[in-house]
């Protein structure tokens, strides 16, 4: 199975000119700028405040034709306390797509020598000059349907963001004709996650080969994993507390997870959908526990597509390393946290205009994972992990 890895990089000037960006944080860059998402689609079920963009990923498909341009948007609540409940209450994922022949974009003939020999990847696209973008919320970039009652110049998605902008600095500047000062801009920037570019490359062949070798040997459960201490194998909670030094049973899925990502410890996403795959791809689970149920039943964690009834399939996962780029307080036990976020979508990419809701599932690390040593290993300090895993024959 071919997996494409995504890495976070700093925003540069070239990114500002990108028509179909993949990125973490910031305000959404809408595939259809005339139809931004409405705030009522992303209100947190816990605190009732608007969610903000976690990431968006440009993921076009060859089939159907209506998904020639295709972007996935992931929104989450910024309130860490809301994440102590089910993921579906504080997280959303949407799919937006356009056919190649559409009213939004055209081939930018000035940037490329467009010919019949060019691949689709070689074509540069540009927004048609007649396209007029819809008004957006100055805070989060959702559809701006409410205005400042005094100056009428500032637009918002909701009363919450209007009040946040007012107290953040607009009170002093409203009606003055002045632009936002630096302090006001910083306050607005803190309302969303910091923006980073997502760049991609194929997973190293060695990691894929090891995974395939393990899959072939997955029926052999004779590994001696007893007697490993929690200090070595237990996940340290977000608060930084150390686990008790006691013997535990090893979470085998976590060991496989750690071994797989060792060669690319900075990956923030794993994209697994491919037209070349013989069947649906499987996520890289972080635990043997908490795997989502998939089925036609509406009560399943991953129900069938509501539009075409096709069974949803795994497309990508967001890794815990992305948390490092969100400027959240990792020592706060109430902060946002996850082991991995799994995104399942309709394999037919059915529908066309608008925003189709898909499914996001959260899997947390078990108490039998790996703590501080694991976190060091993710950033390149092996700390003896290779020998430890090799001894387990994984």
Q: Is the pLDDT of residue 383 over 60?
A: no
Report the percentage of the chain scoring pLDDT > 70: 79
**Average pLDDT for 4-10:** 97
**Average pLDDT for 52-79:** 96
71-85, pLDDT tens digit by residue?
A: 999 999 999 999 999
> Taking Cα atoms as reference points, which of 102, 124, 100, 101 lies closest to residue 112?
124
Q: Is the pLDDT of residue 65 over 50?
A: yes
Q: Is the pLDDT of residue 54 over 90?
A: yes
pLDDT score for 143: 98
Q: Which residue has the higher pLDDT, 187 or 118?
A: 187
Q: Is the pLDDT of residue 212 over 80?
A: no
Contacts of 18 (CB under 8 A, 6+ apart): 29
106-146, pLDDT tens digit by residue?
A: 998 765 554 555 555 668 999 999 999 999 999 999 999 99
Rounded CA-CA distance 180/178 in Å is: 7
Q: Is the pLDDT of residue 232 over 50?
A: no
- Give the best-scoring range by mean pLDDT among 129-138, 201-210, 257-266, 358-367: 129-138
**Average pLDDT for 356-384:** 67
pLDDT score for 296: 80
Q: Is the pLDDT of residue 240 over 80?
A: no
Give the 3-state secondary structure of the chain. Answer: CCCEEEEEECCCHHHHCCCCCCEECCCCCCCCCCCCCCHHHCECCCCCCECEEEEEEECCCCCCHHHCEEEEEEEECCCHHHHHCCHHHHEEEEEEEECCCCCCEEECCCCCCCCCCCCHHHCCEEECCCCCCCCECCCCCCECCEECCCCCCCEECCHHHHHHHHHHHHHHHCCCCCCCCHHHHHHHHCCCCCCEEEEEEECCHHHHHHHHHHHHCCCCCCCCCCCEEHHHHCCCCCCCCCCCCCEECCCHHHHHHHHHHCCCCCCCEEECCCCCCCCCCCCCCCCCCCCCCEECCCCCCEECCCCCCCCCEEEEEECHHHHHHCCCCCCCCCCCCCCEEEEEECCCCCCCCCCEECEEEEECCCCCCCCHHHHHHHCCCCCCHHHHHHHCCC
**Average pLDDT for 261-280:** 88
Mean pLDDT in the chain?
Answer: 84
pLDDT score for 111: 59
Contact predicate 8/322, CB 8 Å: yes
Block residue for tokens 């816990």 = 46
**Average pLDDT for 19-34:** 97
Contact predicate 254/286, CB 8 Å: yes
Lowest mean pLDDT among 87-96, 309-318, 366-375: 366-375
**Average pLDDT for 270-282:** 83
């Amino acid at each position: 199975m071919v997996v494409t890895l995504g890495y976070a990089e700093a925003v540069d000037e070239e990114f500002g000119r990108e028509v179909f960006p993949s990125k973490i944080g910031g305000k959404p860059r809408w595939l259809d700028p005339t139809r931004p998402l409405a705030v009522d689609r992303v209100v947190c079920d816990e605190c009732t405040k608007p969610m903000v963009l976690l990431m968006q990923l440009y993921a076009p498909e060859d089939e159907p034709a209506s998904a020639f341009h295709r972007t996935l948007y992931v929104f989450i609540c910024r309130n860490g306390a809301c994440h102590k409940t089910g993921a579906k209450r504080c997280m959303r994922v949407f799919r937006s797509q356009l056919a190649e022949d559409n009213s939004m974009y055209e081939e930018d003939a000035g940037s490329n020598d467009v010919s019949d020999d060019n691949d689709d990847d070689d074509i540069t696209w540009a927004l048609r000059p007649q396209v007029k973008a819809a008004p957006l919320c100055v805070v989060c970039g959702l559809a701006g349907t409410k205005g400042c009652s005094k100056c009428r110049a500032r637009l918002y998605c909701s009363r919450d963001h209007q009040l946040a902008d007012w107290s953040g600095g607009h009170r002093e500047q409203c009606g003055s004709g002045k632009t936002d000062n630096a302090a006001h801009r910083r306050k607005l920037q803190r309302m969303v996650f910091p923006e980073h570019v997502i760049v991609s490359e194929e997973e190293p062949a060695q990691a894929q080969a090891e995974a395939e070798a393990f899959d072939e040997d997955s029926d052999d459960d004779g590994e001696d994993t007893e007697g490993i201490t929690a200090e070595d194998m237990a996940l340290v909670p977000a608060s930084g507390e150390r686990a008790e030094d006691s013997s535990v049973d090893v979470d085998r899925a976590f060991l496989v997870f750690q071994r797989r990502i060792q060669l690319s410890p900075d990956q923030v996403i794993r994209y697994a959908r491919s037209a070349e795959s013989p069947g649906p791809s499987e996520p890289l689970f972080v635990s043997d526990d908490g795997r989502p149920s998939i089925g036609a039943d509406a009560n399943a964690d991953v129900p069938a597509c509501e539009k075409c009834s096709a069974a949803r399939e795994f497309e990508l996962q967001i890794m815990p390393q992305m948390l490092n780029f969100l400027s959240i307080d990792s020592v706060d036990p109430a902060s946002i946290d996850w082991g991995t976020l799994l995104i399942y979508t309709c394999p037919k990419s059915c529908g066309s205009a608008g925003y189709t809701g898909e499914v996001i599932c959260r899997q947390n690390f078990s108490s039998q994972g790996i703590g501080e040593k694991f976190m060091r290993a993710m950033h390149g300090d092996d700390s003896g992990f290779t020998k430890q895993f090799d001894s387990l024959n994984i």
